[in-house]
């Protein structure tokens, strides 16, 4: 994502990398593990109805944490952007627009091309465990670019709002006024009535306001360092407590679902509930603030490898969230591994996320090489 032009802080770049890994884990969980866990056709085909008994399984906490990491990662990217960009007097709209569009077009071209190569070679990515997953994008269509990458459009709207209005507005505020503004946005997104009221005006307006809140909060943290008196050892404790809170919340919700199922005397097989956590979730907010504060205190010398990988996270985001990768991820029977070997499940989830991340890095390298080549042609 966009950041300050003068140098990169390796500690924050490392945080970007971890945030991207969390987002990939979330997408594997959302588009593969959730479906294998709850889709009746998938369960019957794989014969992995290991969690279809109305009882609580602690192993499902691993699934809940995987889903939680996506919201944390998404929130971190916006928080980090505000951390670096709020105090900038000028945000280069044309440069950022070109960067986002060019990388998005390249990622779309790469995904479509790989699918077409498989298709022309007579191979199929559709031979997955999960019926109904269509991996082939099909013929090259311009709408594939326009309909994909929702988060990039979300980020872009926040960036434009900051460039045109928000940054200038925040610079005029005193510290107390700035804090009041951030707290007001926080209240709007946290209280269900106000959030639903705004959603009634426009379904995505509340999501946009959440982004403005996180962007403004990141700037406030960088400018005023409001958490400097919090002991460093307390930050990992807060992070762990947020994960514990997620586990408790999902445990309580599943217990209630089980009780309702038993009272209903249903003849239908029990299907476990899954949970996706909104960026506005208070545990997400506490987690991302604690993580950013912790990493801002970590002293790392400038590391070119970390900085390069951090700059590649945007391409990693673009390249992986599509049917091509869903099909590849679904080659693995996640539910069987979760039931019989949670350690294997966790290791494979991390390994596959790392491989996916590296695929994005490779795509970024190719994109950079093309830029260099085009630059040399223009210089002649």
Specify if 2 maps to a domain.
no
pLDDT digits (tens, 9 = 90+) for 312-328: 999 999 988 887 888 88
The number of domains in the chain is: 1
Specify if 3 maps to a domain.
no
Select from 222, 97, 220, 93 the least CA-distant residue to 169.
Answer: 220
Specify if 189 maps to a domain.
yes
Please give the model's pTM, rounded to 2 decimal places.
0.90
Specify if 339 maps to a domain.
yes
For residue 282, what are the domain limits? 10-379
Specify if 5 maps to a domain.
no
Specify if 1 maps to a domain.
no
Cα-to-chain-centroid distance, residue 252: 25
- Residues 285 and 203: their CA atoms lie apart, in Å, by 21
Strand, coil or helix: 233:
coil
Question: How confident is the prediction along the chain (380 residues), in pLDDT tens digits per residue?
Answer: 444 335 678 999 999 999 999 999 999 999 999 999 999 888 888 888 899 999 999 999 999 999 999 999 999 999 999 999 988 878 888 888 988 888 888 888 887 777 777 666 555 544 444 443 344 444 445 555 556 678 888 899 999 999 999 999 999 999 999 999 999 999 999 988 888 888 888 778 888 999 999 999 999 999 999 999 999 999 999 999 999 999 999 999 999 999 999 999 888 889 999 999 989 999 999 999 999 999 999 988 899 999 999 999 999 999 888 878 888 898 889 999 999 999 999 999 999 999 999 999 999 999 999 988 887 777 66
Specify if 263 maps to a domain.
yes
CA-to-CA dists, residue 267 to 42, 147, 192, 257, angstroms: 19, 40, 35, 15
Phi-psi region of 47 (alpha: psi -120 to 50; beta: other; left: phi over 0): left
Residue in this structure with the two tokens 């590649």, named with its chain if needed: 312
Specify if 4 maps to a domain.
no
């Amino acid at each position: 994502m966009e950041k300050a032009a003068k140098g990169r802080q390796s500690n924050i770049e490392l945080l970007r990398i971890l945030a991207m890994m969390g987002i990939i884990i979330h997408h594997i969980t959302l588009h593969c593990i959730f479906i294998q866990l709850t889709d009746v056709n998938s369960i019957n085909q794989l014969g992995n109805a290991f969690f279809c008994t109305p009882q609580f399984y602690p192993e499902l906490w691993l699934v809940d944490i995987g889903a939680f990491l996506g919201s944390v990662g998404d929130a971190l990217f916006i928080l980090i952007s505000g951390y670096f960009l709020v105090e900038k007097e000028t945000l280069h709209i044309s440069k950022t627009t070109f960067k986002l569009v060019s990388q998005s077009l390249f990622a779309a071209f790469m995904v479509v091309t790989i699918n077409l190569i498989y298709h022309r070679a007579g191979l199929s990515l559709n031979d997955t465990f999960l019926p109904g997953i269509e991996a082939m994008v099909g013929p090259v269509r311009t709408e594939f670019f326009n309909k994909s990458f929702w988060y990039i459009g979300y980020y872009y709207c926040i960036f434009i709002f900051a460039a045109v209005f928000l940054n200038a507005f925040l610079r005029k505020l005193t510290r107390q006024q700035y804090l009041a503004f951030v707290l007001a946005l926080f209240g709007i997104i946290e209280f269900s009535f106000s959030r639903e009221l705004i959603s009634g005006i426009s379904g995505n307006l509340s999501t946009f306001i959440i982004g403005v809140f996180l962007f403004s909060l990141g700037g406030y943290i960088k400018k005023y360092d409001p958490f400097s008196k919090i002991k460093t050892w307390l930050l990992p404790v807060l992070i762990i407590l947020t994960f514990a809170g997620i586990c408790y919340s999902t445990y309580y919700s599943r217990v209630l679902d089980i009780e309702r199922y038993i009272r209903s005397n249903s003849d239908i097989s029990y299907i476990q509930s899954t949970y996706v956590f909104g960026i506005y979730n208070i545990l997400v907010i506490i987690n991302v603030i604690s993580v950013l504060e912790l990493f801002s205190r970590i002293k790392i010398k400038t590391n070119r490898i970390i900085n390069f990988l951090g700059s590649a996270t945007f391409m990693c985001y673009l390249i992986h969230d599509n049917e091509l990768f869903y099909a590849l991820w679904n080659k693995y029977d996640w539910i069987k591994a979760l039931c019989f070997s949670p350690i294997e499940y966790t290791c494979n989830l991390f390994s596959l996320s790392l491989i996916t991340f590296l695929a994005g890095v490779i795509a970024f390298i190719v994109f950079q090489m093309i830029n260099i080549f085009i630059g040399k042609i223009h210089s002649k």
